[in-house]
Every structure is written in structure tokens, then in C-alpha cells.
Structure 1
Amino acid sequence: MIPYGRQDIRQEDVDAVVEVLRSDFLTQGPVVPRFEQAVAGHVRARHAVAVNSATSALHIACLALDLGEGDWLWTTPITFVASANCGLYCGAKVDFVDIDPKTYNLCPEALAVKLKKAKEEGRLPKVLVAVHLCGQPCEMAAIHELSQRYGFRIIEDASHAIGGQYRGKPIGNGSYSDITVFSFHPVKIVTTGEGGMAVTNDDELAERMSLLRSHGITRDPECMTHEPDGPWYYQQVDLGFNYRMTEMQAALGVSQIERLDAYVARRNELAERYDRLLADLQVITPWQHPDNYSGRHLYVVRLQVDAIAPSHRAVFQSLREQGIGVNLHYIPVHLQPWYRQMGFRSGDFPEAERYYAEAISLPLFPLMTEGQQDAVVSALEEALVG
């Protein structure tokens, strides 16, 4: 089986983790700050807050932006459920904006139309989560301009996108958003096992997220409501969570981040080779904006379903039967049972649903060989024939 994604663990990664295991700190030691500094430096952000998952990062990002009961969070339907669930965790209501059929990201034109109507109805969003699907950045300049006009805050869900660039600047630099979130799950571009990070240029947001990831507890006298009783003293000043990243995870991240640029470059090489190999097949290959640089977390093709005999499901099953570990990213969130019970229905976001009916994620990972890639293409060609 050729998996759709696979981590690259080398001896230097193992050594870094073992060094921590033999140290005095397995949690709340010096390695997590070192990892935070490495990521912040790479993406040119002032602050980075490491947590145990990107979902946790999304949650504390929403809380730091004061999202709460009665507020609205908007995001794209084509994403993992966490991009929407983070709003529900805060007691907010969730809605979606349909995708651009070319990029598969949240469509700025659809957003503009929906915002105009929402202003008339008095239901503007407080937070928009812009998801960089597959690693390709959203059109952030247009989204940011709309945020200035309508007064919402922006979280970039860059779980797929670390190492990429938007208009020549690293994704996560904060030019067009309040907070950017990264994921370090094993199938992502670099891994800490499980893990995530929120980066920002705002001092207050960084301080709030740091507090929220660790029970809302502080030992800083300046943050306390009254004088400490002694050097042992701490105070809970907010309702926080245990979202901390361990030292072992951070050690793996520090080691992995050194190869980030090489990983992204290799992903782009393989993706461009896919483009060439698939040019004559009845699939639509992913369009890339010429001014941007994608992290290329996923390589998604869309089947030309009207031009082939087999169904979408039959092609998918054929690939799996041939040992190709394809996947589908993602089932539209509004079609999940949890969201259907909120009133969402089939037909609400037609571009997202059309994408879902055609999309298949092909294997793509830095250690993938050209021979494996040739096998994927050959299997797809056979599957399309039926």
C-alpha cells in the first residue's frame, strides 16, 4: 500500500527525543520555547504558542478573540471539522461560505455577497477562519479588505500550509490576519506526533493564548489580582485548559523544522511531476496561483465524472484495491450529521458539494519515489477505464 501521507523520521529526530527523555524535563521545560522560537522565526511572526493539537490552537485562538455566545464564526465547508467546531466550543454559531471552484478555498466573491446580506440582517461574523486547503493560501488580501469593511477578525487555518508563501511572504507572518494556526500531525509537512501552534504579532493575543493553554494559571505577579502569598504562589485568572505540548513533541519539532524548506520543495517537485503525468487523463489537476508558493500538503484531483464510465466511488475503490492509499479531503462539514441537525442541508453550498462528488487525494509525501508515483498514475489510469 502506498499511503496518501507518511512522516519522515530520521536518526537525528530519534536522538533529539531521547535527549529529552534523559533530561530533567518531560514537560514545561526549555525545548517547547525553543520550538516556538524556531517556528516564529521561520514564518516571521512575533509570537508562537505551542499546544497539543491544531484543534486546541483553533480553540484558544477563538477565545483570545473573545468569540462567545451569540457570536458567529464563518469558515469554508471544505475543511476538517475542527475549523468549524472551534466556534461551537466557544458557544458561538457557525456558518459557511462556498468555495472558489478554481482554488477550492473559501471564495472571496461569495464572502462579499454573504457579508452584504448579513449586515442587512444584523448577523455579521465576529471571526472568519480562512483555511489554506492542500497548502495553497486563500486570497488573503481580499479577505482582509473585507474584514476592515465589515469588522470581523481573521484566523488563518494553515494546518496544511507551513513553509508556503503568500505574495512572497511566509504564511503565518500576520500581514492579513490576527492569528495563524499550524498542525504537526504525522501526515502534515513537519510533525511532532500530535501538536499544533498559534502564531501572532499581537502581544495581548499571545499572552491570552499562553494563559489559556495551561489552565488559565499564572505565576507572574503582574498578572495577579492581588499580592502573592509567597514564592510558591500561583493564581487561576481565566478558565483555561490543559493544552500544553510536551518536551518530547517539541524536540521532534525542533529537529523536523530544520528540514521544512526541503520537504516543501520536494512536495512541489512531486506535485509538478504529477501535473505532467496526469495531463492526458480525464482528471482536473490542482491549479496553483503563480504569485504564491503552496506547502503542497495534499494533491487533489477532480474526476471529469461526465467523461468517464466508472463512478467517483468506483474509481476510489479501484485505487484502494490496487494498493493506492487514496483519501478524500473533505466531506463538506455542513453535510455532517451534527451540522445537519442545525439546519444545514444538501444544496446549501453547491460548489463545495460538486467538489466532494469529484475529488480524490492522491499519495504525496517527501519520501515518495518516482517509481511509487508512476504506480499511482498507472493505477489511476486503469481505474478511470473501469
Structure 2
Amino acid sequence: MIIGVPKEIKNHEYRVGMTPASVYELCQHGHQLLVETQAGVGIGFSDQDYQDVGATIVTNAADVFAQADMIVKVKEPQAVERALLRHDQILFTYLHLAPDLPQTEDLIKSGAVCIAYETVTSARGGLPLLAPMSEVAGRMSIQAGAMALEKSKQGRGVLLGGVPGVEPAKVVILGGGMVGRNAAQMAVGMGANVSVLDRNVDVLRQLDADFRGQLQTIYSSSASVEEQVSTADLVIGGVLLPGAAAPKLITRAMLSKMKPGAAIVDVAIDQGGCAETSKATTHQDPIYIVDGIVHYCVANMPGGVARTATMALNNATLPYIVTLANKGYRQALLDDEHLRNGLNVMHGKLCCEEVAQALQLDYVTSETLLN
């Protein structure tokens, strides 16, 4: 199979779909790798690094898309990239379609086979290709939140861990999954007063046991969310409904009850955000103010630590890339129901129920399409 790795073009996105080590692995399986020039330069991988392991360097994205049977990326394809997709071509990347009708429509029109990292499941439960970026984003959310609380950013001027004689900041984390757990780890380590809200009591029990009383666990309800958000210095939005739009847990009305200069870091922004006032921002211009509340809503947070994030992501995606290349997409998807759960669009049909519900579109099951 010919596998193409284009350079990412989203604002301040330096990650790359495949590292030289991953390229080498695919070459050892007899596949041909096309890498766009400078694709990995932002994280220290030169064109020569890719050539040394067997890749062919291609001068532009159009040639990569034109020649490759499978495109491996990190972020969702931008409009100019979507125009390059063709019928039966495999696209393997993060898609986050639920809040993105234009992208969904373009992928349907392309006829491509679009497999989303974020909806691939595992036999143990969970989302194995979303997990590494959730770990990174969860940990980054606390350092981003600490920055947003500085007065120079119009924040409250509060130090997360306080100092002797001065109480620490209150950090409220909405969602006790991978993002929430990693955010909690960082916030507790910095000495903050941490509360985690979740609807799954088993998740709360596990957090309570793992953190040994270093944080407060609270069952998530409309009343508890409002109460905790109103008293928080920093709110981390880490809620996730796989494949679906994030629920709007923080209403516009709640902002007026929050402390002036408090901050919201909405990690759920890729799925539309969990605050009604959230809108996607970039690393270049990451924050904005609504009703005196600082909002940090960068849609590709892990891109800020691109080398670490790329290495972590490739560790997770490589086995799936090998399987898709060795078997072809049809057999690979038929053989593995968990990989099949990643299929969002195929041959002009939407096949993810959660996306269909969010965008009010028709869909067919992946089994129907594959058979």
C-alpha cells in the first residue's frame, strides 16, 4: 500500500501523522511511504530522517494525496485538504465531526473511507487512540489554566498552589475520565484545592481511592455543577460523549455567578465545548473574555507540546496503521469491531450514529456498508 503523510496546516500545529520510527515499521512490511517535505521539522524530524528509513519525500500535499492509498494525519483535514480526497481513499486521523457540519459534508462528498481516531474502541473499554492526547491535554489544561489566572491575562491573579498563609486556588474538573484524571494529577501536585465531578459513581470511587483523599469527588448534577462552578477559580471542561457533541454544562447564566477573573479551560472544544460561551481558539490567540471570565479554548492543545504528543500518538496508532495497510481497510474493519467503530464516513455515507444525531443527518451502519 502507498501511505501518505502530509504536513499539518492547522494554526500552530507541529505534530505529524507518523514519526520516522513508524515509517520504518511500515517499510519493513513492504509498504511505500510518501512524506511531504518539512512534515516533521517542527518537532525535530528532518526530511533526511525520513529518507534514511525508506520514505520518499514529496514536495507538496497535492502530490501526497494524489498518489497515496491511505492518508495518515493528526488533525481533521482542512477544507483545502478535503478537496484533495478521492473515492475509496483511506483517511486515518482525528475528525471530531459532531460539531462540524462543513467537514462532514465534504467527507461524504469525497467518497473516501474516513476512520476517526477518537471513536476507535478497545476490548477493555475506552478510546485507545484518544487516550494519549487526552492525557496530554489534561495535563496541559492545568498549566494553561494557571496562565489564564494571571492578571496579565485578565485573570484573578491567583497562584494555583497558594503560599504558606494564603489559601490555594479552587480547581473544579468536569469529567473524571482520562482528561479529568490527568488534570487532577497535575492540579493536586501543584497544591490546588481540587474537586472532580462525574455522573459515574464507579469513576468517582476509583478517583477517591487513587488520590487517597487529596481531592473531593462530587456526583455531577445540574445543581452541583452550578454550585461548584460558581465558587471555582479555575474550571476544566473534560467531559466526553464518544463521537457526540459535548453537553453544555456551563450556561451563559452561570458566568455571572462566577468569581470575576475566574478561568475556564474547555478541553472539550474539539467536540463543540462544554460551555455555552466556548468557541475554538488557537495557540496564537488562545484566550478571550466573556462577562469577566477568561476562556481558554484551544482546539489542538496537544499541538503545544508537539514532540511529546506525536510520540505518544504514534505509539497508539501504529498497530492500526499496520493492520489497515497489511489487510486493506475492508478486511481490517470486518475483522476488528473496535477498529470498525472508528469508521465515520465511507463511500458517500455517514456511519456514526452519534455524529448523525448531532448534525441531524441520515446514517447507515458500518456493517451495512462493508457488506
TM-score range with shorter-chain normalisation? Answer: under 0.3
User: Which structure is richer in relative contact order (CA contacts within 8 A, separation 6 or more)?
Assistant: 1
TM-score, normalization by structure 2: 0.23
